[in-house]
Structure 1
């Protein structure tokens, strides 16, 4: 091995290690925000939870605003990667819609931590233009996921919704956020389990398909759907 090659490999490992350390800091930052809110996400609090020194955290993010923005981006990218894995396993668009609604509640991150984070971010967005812009991008991303799956389902002739695709995508994101608030705070005795069933039942009615079948079976009587005059 030449000296030049050895130096190149050393730099590569160092770069990877730095990227992993940055991701780890952001992971812990998302936990701090979920528990203590955006205002409670100080370098000192993050240092205590993560074990990284305040100096190390400052080295990567300089100031708190940059840390918060990077954490929102981190959680969005994590969500998209997880959804792509789920999407790839779907056999048809209706099944993907079923899984997308379920994924809004049940992901790799526990419900309370995941939605605790997003609700704290939503709350902070009201008074912080930078966070507000980040939230707008997140919601746009979620709408895009639904629009894509809905368009595929219509193209595959699996459903024929009464509302247009853009309106449905907006409704789904709004209903998901509203139900998450109720479930996180146990309002109306709502839980993540009941949230999933409510989402599936609501979606099935909008799709014009049998709700009980959609809840039990991802494919939801596809033959029956086609026979109802779907173009």
Structure 2
């Protein structure tokens, strides 16, 4: 009895759909986490939002915690790639710091749900930054920003009495709190002008502290 073989192109299509389905689940998770909160949603909610079978979520993620970590890792990876591109591009160190802040504020304009999850859920789930890919990506982000600070110090643009890693964590901390303020409604962010105003103020504040006196 002959065996029915899957055509090679069909196998390739099936394999090619897997990353797309995984991305769809991750993007659905962002929406559901932003709407209901991590602790208030179920895997079934994510599956429904992604329009996939309930069991398919477990095919890619062991549990809800791993799904959240994957969301964190993906969002941090996007930030790291942006920081790396800015770091490798032209401009002064202050220009690069402003561009990093500008990128995050622009993401908030375009995808506030993703920023809301990254900011709010990481504070409610601190183990997400303690180990695994999210922690590694966070470390990389700090080191890349520290490298920008060192560039400014070498160019006599920034103060040389500051530890670059401490300065980098302070910059990212200021960025996180500024965006957190917008997420929870403390910082006005009702339209693009308000968001741009917040960006200008925070960039001036942090760069003012770095500049040589």
TM-score, normalised via structure 1 length? 0.73
Q: May I ask how many residue pairs the two structures share in their alignment?
A: 203
- Which residue is 1:143 aligned to? 142
2:122 and 2:29 map into 1 onto residues whose CA distance is 16
Matched residues in 2 for 1:19 and 1:45: separation? 20
2: CA distance, partners of 1:123 / 1:91? 33
Counterparts of 1:146-165 in structure 2, within 5 Å, are: 146-165=145-164
Distance 1:112 1:99 in 2: 19
2:40 alignment partner, SS class: coil
For the structure 1 residues 188 and 46, does the alpha-carbon distance in structure 2 shift closer, same or farther, using more than 3 Å as the test?
closer
11-20 or 105-114: bigger deviation: 105-114
Q: Helix, strand or coil for the counterpart of 2:106?
A: coil
Unaligned runs of at least 5 residues, structure 1:
1-5, 210-227
- The correspondence for 1:207, drawn from 190, 205, 210, is 210
Q: CA RMSD in A?
A: 2.9
Query: 2:63 and 2:113 mapped to 1: Cα distance?
Result: 24
CA contact (8 A) 1:43 1:54 kept: yes
Which residue of structure 2 aligns with residue 181 of structure 1? 180
- Asked if the contact 1:32–1:40 (Cα under 8 Å) also holds between the matched residues in 2, the reply is no
How far, CA to CA, are the matches of 2:136 and 2:36 in structure 1? 23
Q: Secondary structure at the match of 1:187?
A: coil
Q: Which residue of structure 2 aligns with residue 29 of structure 1?
A: 29
In structure 1, the partner of 2:74 is 74
- 1:1-231 alignment runs, 5 A limit: 7=8, 10-107=10-107, 110=110, 112-126=112-126, 129-130=127-128, 132-133=130-131, 136-187=135-186, 189=188, 191-208=194-211
**Secondary structure of 2:207's match?**
helix
Change (3 A) 1:66 1:192: same
Note the C-alpha offset of 1:154: 2.4
Gaps of 5+ in 2: 1-6
